[in-house]
Amino acid sequence: MKIQQIYTGCIAQAAYYLENKGEVAIFDPLREVQPYTDKANLDQAKIKYIFETHFHADFVSGHLDLAKKTNAKIVFGPTAKPEFDAIIATDNQEFKVGDYTIKAIHTPGHTLESTCYLLIDENGKEHGIITGDTLFIGDVGRPDLAQAFVEDLTQEKLASYLYDSLRNKIMPLSDDLIVYPSHGAGSACGKNMSKETTDTLGNQKKTNYALRATMTREEFTKELLDGLGAPPAYFPQNVMMNIQGYESLDSVIEKSKKPLSAIEFNAIANETDAVILDVRHENDFVKCHIPRSIFIGLQGNFAPWVGSLIMNTKQPILLITPDGMENETLTRLSRVGFDNVLGYLDGGIETWKHAGFETDSVHSISPEQFSNEVKSESIVVDARKPSEYDAEHVENAINLPLDTINSHLDLVPKEENFYIHCAGGYRSVIMASILKSRGFHHFTNIEKGISGIKNTNVPMTVFVCPSTLK
């Protein structure tokens, strides 16, 4: 069977391209649709269907743009109520793509409309299953997203629905089916996803905690909800964009790709409530940046961090980008619905300096220097996730996860000197930029994070394998 996974590491998302006899199906497309049309053109094929597993919360899907450009039909599962033309499939409804058959299997739990798609080849053999956010490799979808949109719907009810969907719809299928999920490690749509992005269903039955054969409904619900943090604030906004529709990506980029001189940039920053977003490498930001700008570098999990920390998709944004990366930045912002970019600084930070405007920097030191400076009474802030902190951390360090910093500023010492670090140096600079924008300046960033600190004499707690932690 000719199926290709198209994986985007920035948001840990997988779309799928299936082709047979000149007909194509796309599953869960990203907002930038050109890669799908290019592939179809290369295959001399026509995109016939756009299958959505559910209304995505972590990204804006490309279903509308792709349908407009190709005349393909959009397909959602039972109970979906989009505000645009779409086929609402019934449970077990079949669709033909060439000689292949795609069967819709309604699997509520992650959301009420969540649907998996069983892939059947030209010989009638069941090849694989597109599972969306119902089943991941090593995990299952979180059951707390749809409750914001349906009265009296709780995460416990959704967990119960998911238990039934997995056991009645997925687990009875053949062990040799290939599982094609929508996300891998790094996505906020689950809590324990593997770095692997495909597997056999049989192996998942053996290794995935949520598919344990003897598991009761109560045990499933408890284990699924245990350690599940709050979903990122932008998730409901993305869901509504996917339900209601959105401006085409071509229009967004045309409107937003506006070069601004330093004087124009400064004027807009002063006259609006725009966030100045610097997407260069953290090493460049540390050395020199515009005061009160926020750093979120393109080289990391850029889009999810923008969504989690800026939160409001309507927020006006001014950009500082590496030269030539304007299109890339705008595209990656649009993936999570941030379409209100007012322009970018033409010529970057050098233009700003040449114009005579003030700059700022982050005091940053090597792990070795930190080792020489740190004392038992020093305040050390660890910006990693609680699970990372629990596994191993600097003795007496305080855990303030980056994704919670906006609501926990009161826990940050304002008048005392302190150190901040993360795993490798990316997240701590993001936190540093947020702290400086909020008036916190008495801190030092530790380069390379815990990966560098571990190679020094700084006292650390005994490592505990994260898989053993509950």
User: Looking at the predicted structure, is the pLDDT value of residue 114 above 60?
Assistant: yes
Torsion sign (Cα): 86, 92, 95, 101: positive
Would you state the pLDDT for residue 150? 79
Span of 19-33, 105-119, 189-203 with lowest mean pLDDT: 189-203
Cα torsion 37, 40, 44, 47 to 10°: value is: -90
For 372, the token pair is 């020489």
Residue 144: CB partners within 8 Å, gap ≥ 6?
155, 158, 225, 228, 231
Contact present, 301 and 11 (Cβ < 8 Å): yes
User: Looking at the predicted structure, is the pLDDT value of residue 148 above 90?
Assistant: no
Contact present, 287 and 356 (Cβ < 8 Å): no
Residues 429-451 pLDDT 10s: 999 999 999 999 999 999 999 99
Residue 345: CB partners within 8 Å, gap ≥ 6?
260, 262, 265, 318, 319, 320, 321, 351, 352
- The mean pLDDT value for 134-153 works out to 89
Would you state the pLDDT for residue 182? 97
Would you state the pLDDT for residue 468? 57
Domains of the chain: 3-237 (3.60.15.10), 247-354 (3.40.250.10), 364-468 (3.40.250.10)
User: Looking at the predicted structure, is the pLDDT value of residue 244 above 60?
Assistant: yes
User: Looking at the predicted structure, is the pLDDT value of residue 394 above 90?
Assistant: yes
Could you tell me how far CA 130 lies from the centroid of its own chain? 19
Q: Give the total residue count for the chain.
A: 470
Smallest Cα–Cα separation from 61: which of 69, 52, 70?
A: 52
Q: How many CB atoms lie within 10 A of CB 397?
A: 22
Stretch (H or E) spanning 132: strand 126-132
Residue 51: CB partners within 8 Å, gap ≥ 6?
25, 26, 27, 28, 75, 102, 117, 130
Contact present, 116 and 170 (Cβ < 8 Å): yes
Q: Which residues pair with 295 in a beta bridge?
A: 278
- The mean pLDDT value for 156-180 works out to 98
Amino acid at the residue 230: A
User: Looking at the predicted structure, is the pLDDT value of residue 299 above 90?
Assistant: yes
For 173, the token pair is 């299928």
- The mean pLDDT value for 141-149 works out to 86
Residue 114 burial class via C-beta count within 10 angstroms: exposed 0-12, middle 13-18, buried 19 and up? buried
Q: How many CB atoms lie within 10 A of CB 213?
A: 8
Would you state the pLDDT for residue 115? 98
Smallest Cα–Cα separation from 290: which of 261, 319, 316?
A: 319
CA angle 350, 355, 360 (to 5 degrees): 60
User: Looking at the predicted structure, is the pLDDT value of residue 188 above 90?
Assistant: no
Residue 297: CB partners within 8 Å, gap ≥ 6?
279, 280, 281, 282, 285, 426, 429, 430
Report the chain's mean pLDDT, rounded to a whole number. 95
Would you state the pLDDT for residue 415? 87
413-416's contacts with Cβ under 8 Å and 24+ in sequence apart are: 413/379, 413/442, 414/439, 414/440, 414/442, 415/442, 416/379, 416/442
- The mean pLDDT value for 171-179 works out to 98
Using the 8-state DSSP alphabet, how is residue 460 labeled? Answer: B
- The mean pLDDT value for 11-40 works out to 97
Query: What CA–CA distance (Å, rounded) separates 92 from 437?
Result: 53
Residues 194-235 pLDDT 10s: 999 999 999 999 999 999 999 999 999 999 999 888 888 899
Contact present, 28 and 35 (Cβ < 8 Å): no
Cα torsion 260, 264, 270, 271 to 10°: value is: -100
Contact present, 108 and 95 (Cβ < 8 Å): no
Would you state the pLDDT for residue 466? 62
Residues 327-369 pLDDT 10s: 999 999 999 999 999 999 999 999 999 999 999 999 999 999 9
For 102, the token pair is 């795609």
- The mean pLDDT value for 376-399 works out to 95
Predicted model pTM? 0.91
- The mean pLDDT value for 21-28 works out to 98
User: Looking at the predicted structure, is the pLDDT value of residue 149 above 70?
Assistant: yes
User: Looking at the predicted structure, is the pLDDT value of residue 109 above 70?
Assistant: yes
Count CA within 13 A, CB hemisphere, residue 4: 12
Would you state the pLDDT for residue 190? 85
